[in-house]
Amino acid sequence: MIATRLRQIGLLLISMAISALAFIQMFERTTNSIPSNYLVILCVAAALFLVLWALTVRFQPYASQAIIPCVLLLTGIGVTMIARIDQSMSTRVAQRQLMWLCIALVLSALIIVFLKDYRVLRRFSYVSMVVGLVLLLSPMLPVLGQEVNGARIWVKVPGLGQFQPGEFAKLFLAFFFAAYLFDHRDQLAVGGKKVLGLQLPRIKDLGPIIVVWVASMGVLVMQHDLGTSLMFFAMFVAMLYAATGRKSWIVIGLLAFAVGAVAAASVFSHVGQRVDAWLHPFSDEQYNMQYGGSWQLVTGIFGLASGGMVGTGLGQGHPALTTFANSDFIYTALGEELGLAGVLAILMLYLIIIASGFIAAMKIKDGFGKLLASGLVFTMAFQVFTVVGGVTLVIPLTGLTLPYMAAGGSSLIANYVLAALLIVISDAANQPEPELTSESFQYEALAVLRDKELEERARATEPIVRQSPSSGSTSSFEEIVDTTRHAPDSFGAAAEYTAPTGTLPPVPPTPQVPQVPQVPPIPPAHGHHSASNHHGPRHGGARA
């Protein structure tokens, strides 16, 4: 156990060392010194990471220890790049990001300490649904809602600033989806007609996916947010497939979202502009458009291409040339200064977190935990895919942020809460089986033996069917013998049967019928008949 803990703390310290080395190297190349205002908050963040690891070992001892080091390394690289962009643009986004990081670490520690059993979340399924929908629709309020860059996804709280409630809505909706699908998985798994070799669901079971499709399209229409609506719908379809195992749900989900996306692209201009910029990014018309267009996308691609295989080095590139390089396009900024090798290493860190979550989902025996873990992990994986795919021309831009790396307190706190939930679920999945000498195991074993004994007693009191002995008869007759009354003994007396152990009595042997002595033949009468007229065989005897 000590060797295991040393390896775990070693991973955490290595992640801290890599992050500190990148931070120091970047500032030495840009300002030749480390600003003093970063030292204090960096030390506080490092101390909170150590406290978080210690609390995980204490309260979640069987949790996956690969999640915290990977999250730390991703956050450290992201804060380093944000601070690098601050040097070029004379901003202070990195300091605010470190403050949000400390708050996220405190919330994660509280979840790890007090959320001992994640199944308590199932009790508040409909409360989670209401909270999630309120958070999702809160940007539409006339006073609190704020529209930024054409998307109405922000809520401004007086005195606290603005935040993006959709990041927290995905957590509460994941709680509700997991509880709902766990309770109705049998009805949803029933198949209907088979079309082209695909087992389609029943018409009455299409209600949930229709409701979620309408809600996601409503978010797209009212808030002009393609990324949130896409993530919201994809999370539900993925959890629906995990609950039922039917590929037809995926096909129906893809077709439904394709129809909605085509309709949105033709009706709403901002969606159509993103699609046109994705299809024709290097055309003069799209590149020189005053609003929308592909200028930001092409600039990010040029920065990503200039990094080459190993990058220009931290502090030696020009990532600030791309608009929103510290949030939406932080992946291209990292690709410019870290190169292809650096961004592939970043994707590998995400892959380790995602794999840890899916392993926990496969190992845990609780159905609600399986759905919750798979839904949370898929949400993170889908968010990484949409961001990386959007800036590399694989799919259109969605406006989502890269988890743990992009600037923004809402995204950072929500994803740290997601990581804390994965830690709690992985602890439940990795707990060993109870030992044979433990009191709980002995109690369960005695309960099983007691149930087995009761079943045997019930079976012993049931009537049994046996063949009745019948001498001299070839036909088989059956009689029902009630073993609860009397069992005949070999002498024909009635002996009462008692079964203290619940075993059936042995069937007594059939009594032997005594042999009847053979009667000697009657001698013939003396008359006028001659002896030759009598036939011995006919009368069955010999002559006198």
Give yes or no for residue 498 having a pLDDT over 60. no
Whether 235 is in a domain gets the answer yes
368 with 418, same domain? yes
Q: What is the pLDDT of residues 369-407, one digit of tens each?
A: 999 999 999 999 999 999 999 999 998 888 788 999 999
Examine the domain organization and report whether 209 and 293 are in the same domain: no
- What pLDDT was estimated at residue 392? 92
Could you tell me if residue 234 is inside a domain? yes
CA distance 267 to 276: 14
Q: Output the pLDDT for position 494.
A: 44
If you average pLDDT over each of 76-90, 202-216, 246-260, which comes out highest?
76-90
323 pLDDT higher than 50 = yes
pLDDT band for 304, please (50, 70, 90 cuts): very high
The reply to whether 540 falls in a domain is no
d(CA 378, CA 362): 14
**Rounded distance between C-alpha atoms, residue 120 and residue 129, angstroms:** 15
- pTM reported for the whole predicted model: 0.77
Q: Which residues contact 472 (CB under 8 A, 6 or more apart)?
A: none
Check residue 380 and give its pLDDT.
93
The whole-number pLDDT of residue 330 equals 94
386 and 282 within one domain: yes
Does the structure show a pLDDT above 50 at 423?
yes
Tell me: do 128 and 98 sit in the same domain: no
Q: Which residues does 446 contact at the CB level (< 8 Å), separation at least 6?
A: none
Nearest to 281 by CA among 290, 292, 265, 271: 292
Q: Write the CB contacts of 308 (distance below 8 Å, at least 6 apart in sequence).
A: 339, 340
Residue 530 pLDDT greater than 60, yes or no: no
Token couple for 125: 């399924």
Specify whether 9 is located in the same domain as 81: yes
8-state DSSP, 524: P
Residues 131 and 110 in one domain: no
Tell me which of 516 and 398 has the higher pLDDT.
398
| Same domain for 66 and 167 | no
Q: Based on the fold, state whether residues 253 and 164 are members of the same structural domain.
A: yes
Between residues 463 and 322, the one the model is more confident about: 322
Query: 427 pLDDT exceeds 90?
Result: yes
Is residue 532 assigned to a domain? no
438 within domain boundaries: no
For residue 190, is it within any domain? yes
Domain boundary among 199, 234, 265: 265
**40 pLDDT exceeds 80?**
yes
One domain, residues 238 and 147:
yes
- Tell whether the model's pLDDT for residue 56 goes beyond 50: yes
Q: Are residues 71 and 136 in the same domain?
A: no
Confidence band (pLDDT; 50, 70, 90) for 105? very high
pLDDT at 451 exceeding the cut of 60:
yes
Question: Does one domain contain both 381 and 285?
Answer: yes
Q: Is the residue at 464 inside a domain? A: no
In terms of phi and psi (left: phi > 0; alpha: psi -120 to 50; beta: otherwise), the region of 63 is: beta
Position 162 confidence tier, pLDDT thresholds 50, 70, 90 = confident
489-516: average pLDDT = 50
The domain boundary, picked from 237, 265, 293, lies at 265
**Sequential DSSP letters for 19-82:** HHHHHHHHHHHHTSS--HHHHHHHHHHHHHHHHHHHHHHHH-TTS-TTHHHHHHHHHHHHHHHH
Cα end-to-end span (Å), the chain:
109
Domain that holds residue 169: 123-265
Average pLDDT, the chain: 80
Q: Higher pLDDT residue, 282 or 150?
A: 282
Residue 33 lies in a domain: yes
pLDDT score of 28 more than 60? yes
Q: Which one has a higher pLDDT value, 452 or 158?
A: 452
Residue 164 has pLDDT above 80, yes or no: yes
Based on the fold, state whether residues 293 and 215 are members of the same structural domain: no
What would the mean pLDDT of 2-15 be, rounded to a whole number?
89
End-of-domain residue from the set 221, 246, 265: 265
- When pLDDT is averaged across residues 302-312 and rounded to a whole number, the result is 92
pLDDT tier for residue 116 given thresholds of 50, 70 and 90? confident
**Chain-centre distance for alpha carbon 543:** 104
Residue of 459 and 284 predicted with greater confidence: 284
Question: What does the pLDDT look like over 185-240, one tens digit per residue?
Answer: 777 776 666 666 666 666 666 666 677 767 777 776 666 677 777 888 888 888 88
Number of domains composing the chain = 2
Tell me how crowded residue 193 is: count the other CB atoms within 10 A of its CB: 10
